[in-house]
Structure 1
Amino acid sequence: MTLDLEKQAAQVEESTASSTSDKEGVIVARETATPSAPHVPVPSKLRALNNRIENLAGLEARGITRVLPEERHGISPMRYAQMAIIWYSANISANNLAVGLLGPLLFNLGFVDSAMMAVWGCLLGSAVTAYMSTWGAQSGNRTMIVVRYFMGYWPAKLTTVLNMILMVGYAVISTIISGQILSAVSDGSMSIVVGIVITALISWLVAVFGMSIFHTYERYAWIPQTIVLLILCGVAGKNFNTGSVSIIPDGAPSAAITADRLSFFSLQLSVPLSWAGAGSDFYVYYPESTSKRLTFLMTLTGLWISFIFVNLIGIGLGAGTFTNTKWNDAYGISSGALILEGFAPLHGFGKFCGVVVALGVISNNVPGTYAAALNCQVLGRFGKMVPRWLWVCVIVLIYFVCAIAGRDHLFAIFQNFLALMGYWLVILVTIVVEETLIFRRSRGFDWTKWEDQKYLPVGAAALLSFLIGWAGAIIGMYQVWYVGPVAQQAGDGYGADIGIWLALGFTLVVFPPLRFLELKTIGR
């Protein structure tokens, strides 16, 4: 589908879909502008350049416009398998492996304690994302468009901005770790900056072409990643120190171990949960007949297996630093250097494996970049004026600059950013589940009215519930820069991050009565 900039600027909040055929005979969706739509003139040379780019073979020109049923592809067992493959491929990456390091190195947990928190935390977080992914095929809408049906047209912009920050933040972490590994492979002769440039450029190249290239890339990218990670297990596994035990810090109460378990469990839950704001984006070309149950199961399978695979390796490497001096010295340089040190017995081939691991983060960057670019268009009609491919360029540039600036502060980024991911998403998902089960059981959704503000809920109840849930997160969060009063009391005063659970509880309680009131007074 080719939409020039001027026509995109004329799209309005309430429109009717008509059909036309492009030059290839593919049925595409068009929106009919009304006289109230603003006219934003676009220079003819710029319009011509955009049309030329969008006509490149394989480039997805579609933005956030709903994918109509007749535009979608058929369903088959292989396409269900592809659901699991793309999530597995996207998440067996070095950035997720590095999260596992934090169990032993930040939370003082032994191997078994860390592994248990990772396995069950990732299961719960993956299940939430799998649930949110089921909306893509049935609606034909991107995740943050679907959110409008629960949060309202204007409040949904808040969650859209938060999701953009999340996707960009995670890409920053991925790009830094890739740069660290590539620098370590060269024995420091290549700076981290060069590694960051390489990773960002390849991520941009894949993401800018869109869905077709993305699915193709993810379909095969997992193969070399899985092979080299299995090699890492075989080479470094004997030093994983699986017998390590959890440690109570000096002067801390005995409940400190329980508090650290809870904090690490919340962190492990938050990482797969971070995809919940983008899960539907990758299924909009699936037909409406796609099984919700199979969508859930295949998405859950791909996410859970990938996360526990890399987390267990990361936990092993982290625990091994306590008994392996070389590993400890490598970690003193960077997380990437520690990962590469695991391959050290293989010498030159080990460095090759390190390069494969480093470039594996591209599989993680691409879907996040793709989703963030679409989020830019969700923010409003002027966001839609800018083509998706151009937003991809902007997003990549942003996280490239941030990665360069933060390359020497990765551990601080981990501490200050990762745990924050789950707070707002668990609030959003709670609202989605309660709205669906309590208020939408009999009336369902009209997915064609994705921009009709008169149909979408006002969102007052959802916004107020979101803010109240966030208040719960604030009093329960335990971060380097802030400790909530309730969080401070956990673990007999040792402190634990319970923000995600208080956010869930507050939202669960306040949303139903507020929504009942909204429906009674406003009617939608």
Structure 2
Amino acid sequence: MFSRCEGLIRSLRNVSFVRISPTTPEERTDTRMWQMFTVWFSAILNLTGMSTGALGPIFFSLTFRECIIVLVIADIICCFVPSYFVVFGPKLGTRTMVQSRFSFGYYGAMLPAALNVFSQIGWLIINSIVGGQVLAAVSTHLDDTAGIVIIVIISFVLSFCGYKVLHWYETYIWLPSVVLFIALLGVGGKQLITEIPILNASTPGAAAGLLIAYGTTAGASDLTWCSYAADYGIYHDSKVPTWRIFALAYSVFAVRQFVGHIIGAAFAAAAPAIPVWEAGLGDGEDFGRFLVSILEPVGGFGKFLVVVGALTVTAPCAITMYSFGVSLMSISPWFAMVPRYIYSLICTAIVIPIAIVGAKHFFTAFEDVLNLIGYWATSYSAIVLCEHFVFRKNDFSRYSVTDWNTPANLPLGIAAVMAFLCSFAVIIPSMDQQWYTGPIASAGTGDIGLITGFFSAGLLYVPFRTIEVWLSARRRNGTGRSNR
């Protein structure tokens, strides 16, 4: 009996503790590169992406034609960034927040890691609300609260099981999502064709500010994957060409994001003309009942599909909860000493009550969370990419990965932190939120905080980093093979 208990404890330790140190090239031998597609296809192919697209007609009062134009531009451009972040996993064996030390330095990297922790809480809240509302919409025995609890608990169990189980789960969970989306288009397709005047020019065009605000919101949903995109490729073959990894990632990010956004925008745009759909949407805060109303013609089978679709929301929730613990462990060695399941428990305890409150104002909360995460994520991604392409010359051999935990051998991080903080001097005046509108946004530009943040952070980082390298020439700053 004692030996069995000892074996169980050992197994739990292997699952609960996660290694944040980079994997060696010898450990990166998994040739199943298609998992770079399936893990993100499942995480993105769910109802949350559809609700992002629905923000256009519901929150920004845009026509479907305007949504198409905005989404084509936003998704094609913004998906380049997280797709390249996926490459860092197999090529360097580093998780995203550990990889940030090669630009932000050992201590400076604590800043994006801490922000990432809060961002993942935000994403978990949004995803759990979507899944919870949908479960509640098809059952007379469940309300939003119970639905949210179910989604979060399932996500906790999956995240507890770790890297390999998550990859296995993400390999298959996309299938019911595909069936649900096909059913939605099959049942509601005729009404969409009839009621959405794509080419009707009689409707006055929306103000440029609204178009830009919707575009940056959609772009934020793409960019926010940057902060943990590398976490799920650290055991995959490092010898695979960079272009192949990037192509796999971009094909799923761009195509899947665009398809989900467009479908959500289409149904939301048609809802006012179809009484049943409009009644299901209500005041615009219950996305679950809206989906049920679309599939009402197929009766119980439609409700079954909606339930299965709701459970697929656990795909992004599980990997987000897993990366929540990894991000916390990246902040300090002290945090790395705590078993990962403790962080998952803490995350669960935080998300459930906040999601229950946020469910009452879903689309308002959704838009706020997306943009707030997007503001810092866009500046962060610009800095990391500038470090890689400008100072590392797009050469992965210029990273001395063995120095990941040695502050003296990493960049000072002053340049990255300064560029990051200074970018907010431009982001804040460019913001347009219900609780604050900056002078640039109020001039008619709309919310361009993501755009100004990305370019200002990148442009500031180059001279700051150049000065930092010059001032610390004797340090191993990672600008060449000698890392000096």
Q: Same fold (TM over 0.5)?
A: yes
- Displacement of 1:58 in angstroms is 8.5
Distance (Å, rounded) in 1 between the aligned partners of 2:189 and 2:457: 43
Distance (Å, rounded) in 2 between the aligned partners of 1:50 and 1:477: 55
For residue 147 of structure 2, what is the amino acid of its counterpart? Answer: G
Residue in 2 aligned with 1:302? 252
For residue 228 of structure 2, what is the amino acid of its counterpart? Answer: A
Distance (Å, rounded) in 2 between the aligned partners of 1:161 and 1:150: 16
Residue in 2 aligned with 1:382? 334
Contact 1:221 1:363 in 2 (8 A): yes
Contact 2:28 2:237 in 1 (8 A): yes
Pick from 252, 257, 276 the counterpart of residue 207 of structure 2.
Answer: 257
Distance (Å, rounded) in 1 between the aligned partners of 2:138 and 2:187: 17
Cα 1:358–1:70 shift into 2, 3 Å: same
Residue in 2 aligned with 1:159? 112
Distance (Å, rounded) in 2 between the aligned partners of 1:316 and 1:238: 12
Residue in 2 aligned with 1:146? 99
What is the 5 A alignment of 1:325-344? Answer: 325-332=275-282, 334-344=286-296
Answer yes or no: is 1:177 the counterpart of 2:127.
no
Post-superposition Cα deviations, 1:1-47, rounded to whole Å, max 9, x if no partner, equal xxxxxxxxxxxxxxxxxxxxxxxxxxxxxxxxxxxxxxxxxxxxxxx
Unaligned runs of 5+ in 2: 478-484
Distance (Å, rounded) in 1 between the aligned partners of 2:86 and 2:6: 31
Answer yes or no: is 1:101 the counterpart of 2:54.
yes
Post-superposition Cα deviations, 1:110-141, rounded to whole Å, max 9, x if no partner, equal 11221232233122222100111111112111
Answer yes or no: is 1:55 the counterpart of 2:5.
no
Partner SS, residue 132 of structure 2 = helix
Cα 1:246–1:463 shift into 2, 3 Å: farther
Cα 1:329–1:50 shift into 2, 3 Å: farther
Distance (Å, rounded) in 2 between the aligned partners of 1:49 and 1:397: 28
Contact 1:376 1:383 in 2 (8 A): yes
What is the 5 A alignment of 1:508-519? Answer: 508-519=458-469
For residue 132 of structure 1, what is the amino acid of its counterpart? Answer: F
Post-superposition Cα deviations, 1:77-134, rounded to whole Å, max 9, x if no partner, equal xx22221111111111111111111111121211122123223312222210011111
Distance (Å, rounded) in 1 between the aligned partners of 2:6 and 2:167: 24
Contact 1:136 1:281 in 2 (8 A): yes
Residue in 1 aligned with 2:447? 497
Cα 1:404–1:106 shift into 2, 3 Å: closer
Residue in 1 aligned with 2:148? 196
Distance (Å, rounded) in 1 between the aligned partners of 2:67 and 2:191: 16
Pick from 157, 164, 173 the counterpart of residue 221 of structure 1.
Answer: 173
Residue in 2 aligned with 1:288? 238
- Displacement of 1:392 in angstroms is 1.9
Partner SS, residue 382 of structure 2 = helix
Residue in 2 aligned with 1:363? 315
Post-superposition Cα deviations, 1:444-469, rounded to whole Å, max 9, x if no partner, equal 11001111000111111111110111
Distance (Å, rounded) in 1 between the aligned partners of 2:10 and 2:24: 20
Answer yes or no: is 1:412 the counterpart of 2:368.
no
Distance (Å, rounded) in 1 between the aligned partners of 2:405 and 2:467: 24
For residue 268 of structure 1, what is the amino acid of its counterpart? Answer: A
Partner SS, residue 206 of structure 1 = helix
For residue 145 of structure 2, what is the amino acid of its counterpart? Answer: V
Residue in 2 aligned with 1:42? none
- Displacement of 1:257 in angstroms is 2.7
Residue in 2 aligned with 1:272? 222
Post-superposition Cα deviations, 1:217-254, rounded to whole Å, max 9, x if no partner, equal 011101111011101111012223331568989xxxx7
- Displacement of 1:393 in angstroms is 2.1
Pick from 410, 416, 419 the counterpart of residue 456 of structure 1.
Answer: 410
For residue 63 of structure 1, what is the amino acid of its counterpart? Answer: R
Unaligned runs of 5+ in 1: 1-47
Contact 1:63 1:377 in 2 (8 A): no
What is the 5 A alignment of 1:75-90? Answer: 75=31, 79-90=32-43
Contact 2:103 2:387 in 1 (8 A): yes
Q: Which moved more, 1:336-345 or 1:388-397?
A: 388-397
Partner SS, residue 132 of structure 1 = helix
Contact 2:104 2:416 in 1 (8 A): yes
Cα 1:224–1:142 shift into 2, 3 Å: same
Post-superposition Cα deviations, 1:337-390, rounded to whole Å, max 9, x if no partner, equal 111211111111111111011111001111111111100101101101102232
- Displacement of 1:323 in angstroms is 0.4
Distance (Å, rounded) in 2 between the aligned partners of 1:407 and 1:49: 42
Q: Which has the higher helix share?
A: 2
What is the 5 A alignment of 1:346-495? Answer: 346-441=298-393, 444-491=398-445
Residue in 1 aligned with 2:30? 74
Contact 2:42 2:315 in 1 (8 A): yes
TM-score (ref. length: structure 2) = 0.91
Cα 1:462–1:226 shift into 2, 3 Å: same
Q: CA RMSD for the aligned pairs?
A: 2.2
Residue in 1 aligned with 2:482? none
For residue 312 of structure 1, what is the amino acid of its counterpart? Answer: I
Percent of matched pairs sharing the same residue? 28
Residue in 2 aligned with 1:133? 86
Cα 1:67–1:86 shift into 2, 3 Å: same
Residue in 2 aligned with 1:208? 160
Contact 2:80 2:250 in 1 (8 A): yes
For residue 73 of structure 1, what is the amino acid of its counterpart? Answer: T
